[in-house]
Amino acid sequence: MPELPEVETMRRGILAIVGSRILDVRRAPCAKRPILITPRPAVFRRRAAGRTITAVDRVGKRVVVRLDSNDSIVFEPRMTGLVLLADPPTREHLRLVVRLSGGPNRELRFWDRRGLGLVRLVTPVQFEGMYGDAKLGPDALRVSCDELRGRLHKSRREIKVALLDQRALAGVGNLYASEILHTAGVHPRRRCDTLVRDEWRRLHEALVEVLEQAIRHEGSTLADGTYRNALNEQGTYQNQHRVYDRAGQTCRQCRRAPIERIVQAQRSTFLCPRCQPRRRRAKSPGHG
């Protein structure tokens, strides 16, 4: 679930670790299968311990902790991972602890209920190979309208599916794709190569607006309550959702049509059939 707004919130929440030294790294005693980390724990610890943290960045849906050795620690939360300074939601699913200088019990923690997430310590060359331009498209918050259109407008894919492709655009996931398309008034089944310039303009506007608003609200904590910021506090953007997980409820924009749920690429998509018509309206005679 963590997408760009949630991961950006995690990043901002741990900025205070810049300047701290890493004292130790240990895998938490997790009853279930331990989290995947690379390289293996002993090597990871040896290369991280003693290093100073120089920056905290984000690449797509991952948090990147930069070290003075030029290595980076990359936290990839996937579905249920959290990057925390506060105590984790449960002891049970605490996966990795990075002990920091600056006070007793000062730790950066990776918690992950489902255990699909992972943590990597990578060299600059490895970083480029895994997260460089060949692997990830431009960040969704930094892409221009022209670049967005340029990367997608020849594709025959449906726009919702294309927005989830991290090689085309980095950061958008299933939840925000539906929200962005509703804000833009574009039907999720529209093929990319049928969108006209005005629709790309609306899409780009909606992309920036929705993601920035979601960051302002510190992300979306859904009904399962999993997502938390670095202080283990819930986000509030779920209260602003236009369509996500609102099937059958009335659209907040037109106040008439019920929100529909469809499936695209084995994933739920939510839309308002009235605010997101399948076909563009025919231009009225005498205009255009």
Q: Could you please report the per-residue DSSP string of 5-44?
A: HHHHHHHHHTGGGTTPBEEEEEE---SSSPPEEES-HHHH
Q: Which residue has the tokens 């990578």?
A: 122
Which runs of consecutive H residues, i.e. helices, occur in the chain?
A: 4-13, 41-48, 124-131, 145-152, 159-163, 174-184, 197-216
Q: How far is it, in rounded angstroms, from Cα 177 to Cα 188?
A: 9
Rounded to a whole number of angstroms, the minimum distance from the CB of residue 221 to DNA is 13
Q: How far is it, in rounded angstroms, from Cα 255 to Cα 234?
A: 28
Q: How far is it, in rounded angstroms, from Cα 205 to Cα 106?
A: 40
User: Active-site residue among 11, 47, 58, 61?
Assistant: 61
- Interface residue with DNA among 23, 55, 116, 208 (CB under 7 A) is 116
Amino acid residing at 184:
A
Residue 16 or 87 having the CB closest to DNA: 87
Stretch that binds DNA, among 75-83, 98-106, 230-238, 248-256 (CB under 7 A): 75-83
Residue 20 or 220 having the CB closest to DNA: 220
3 is an active site residue: yes
135 is an active site residue: no
CA distances (Å), 102 to each of 13, 64, 99, 106, 196, in order?
A: 17, 21, 10, 7, 54
- Interface residue with DNA among 18, 26, 32, 132 (CB under 7 A) is 32
User: Active-site residue among 106, 252, 267, 280?
Assistant: 267
Query: Taking CB under 7 A as the rule, which mask of x and - marks residues 197-226 in contact with DNA?
Result: --------------------------xx--
- 36-38 vs 118-122, strand pairing mode: parallel
The enclosing H or E element of 100 equals strand 94-100
Residue 201 or 267 having the CB closest to DNA: 267
Residues 135-194 that bind DNA (CB under 7 A): 135, 154-158, 161, 164, 166, 173-175
Stretch that binds DNA, among 74-82, 201-209, 230-238, 248-256 (CB under 7 A): 74-82
- Interface residue with DNA among 76, 107, 179, 199 (CB under 7 A) is 76
Rounded to a whole number of angstroms, the minimum distance from the CB of residue 68 to DNA is 26
267 is an active site residue: yes
Task: DSSP letter for 240, please.
Answer: G
**Catalytic residue annotation:** 2-3, 61, 267
Residue ranges in contact with DNA by CB under 7 A: 1, 3, 32-33, 60-61, 76, 78-79, 92-93, 113-116, 130, 135, 154-158, 161, 164, 166, 173-175, 223-224, 265-268
